[in-house]
Amino acid sequence: MKTIIAANWKTYKTWDQAKTSTRELINLLPQDTFTEKEVILFPSPVLLKIVAETVQNSQITCGAQNFYPVTEGAFTGETGTTQLHDLGCTHVLIGHSERRHILHESEELITQKLHFALQEGLTPVLCIGETLAERKQGLVEAILAGQLESALAQNKNVTDIIVAYEPVWAIGTGEVAGPEEITAAHACIRQWLKNHLPTGENIPVLYGGSVKPKNCSQILSLDNMNGVLVGGASLEAEIFSKIVLA
Ligand code: PGA
Q: Are strands 3-8 and 227-230 parallel, antiparallel or unpaired?
A: parallel
Name the residue with the closest Cα to ligand 1, atom 6: 231
Q: Beta 162-165 vs 37-42: how paired, if at all?
A: unpaired
Query: What band does 36 get if pLDDT is binned at 50, 70 and 90?
Result: very high
The single residue of 96, 98, 105, 130 carrying the catalytic annotation is 96
Predicted model pTM: 0.96
Tens-digit pLDDT profile for residues 159-184: 999 999 999 999 888 888 899 999 99
pLDDT average, residue stretch 208-233: 97
Look up 115 and say whether it is catalytic: no
Residues 10, 16, 18, 24, Cα dihedral to 10°:
-150
C-beta of 147 in contact with ligand 1 (< 6 A): no
Residue 96 a catalytic site member: yes
pLDDT score at 20: 98
What separation in Å is there between the alpha carbon of 12 and the centre of ligand 1? 13
3-state SS, residue 109: helix
| Cα dihedral sign, 62-65-69-73 | negative
